[in-house]
Amino acid sequence: MKRLETSLDWVVIESELKSLENTLPLFKHDVIRFIKAIREDVTALSKLEVELRRTHSKQLERECSSKVTKINEQLKLVHKFHLMSLLAQ
């Protein structure tokens, strides 16, 4: 699974996550819930990135970095959930 570097990477990652919901029809709603939660964080990251490009603030740079780290952790959790779901079948 790919890692998120900027909010622009979300399109590719979201399509990968949607393909996971097809492999696990029983857990489709859980995957959709994960995608929705991560999408909200990506939207917030996108707004921070726009503000960062406008102001070049070190504080905003740190906030963007921490938001990317948080999103990547969430993506790891989704991946682990998917693996555990596959093993449970």
Q: Please state the pTM of the whole predicted model.
A: 0.88
- What is the share, in percent, of the chain residues with pLDDT greater than 70? 99
Residue located via tokens 């906030």: 63
In this predicted structure, the answer to whether residue 70 has a pLDDT above a threshold of 90 is yes
- How far is Cα 35 from Cα 51, in angstroms, rounded to an integer? 24
Q: Identify residue 71 by its one-letter amino acid code.
A: I
Q: Identify residue 42 by its one-letter amino acid code.
A: V
Confidence category of residue 18, pLDDT binned at 50, 70, 90: confident
Confidence category of residue 45, pLDDT binned at 50, 70, 90: very high
Q: Give ∠ CA 45-79-60 in degrees, rounded to 5.
A: 15
**At residue 66, what are phi and psi to the nearest 5 degrees?**
-70, -35
**Burial class of residue 7 (count of CB atoms within 10 Å of its CB; 0-12, 13-18, 19+):** buried
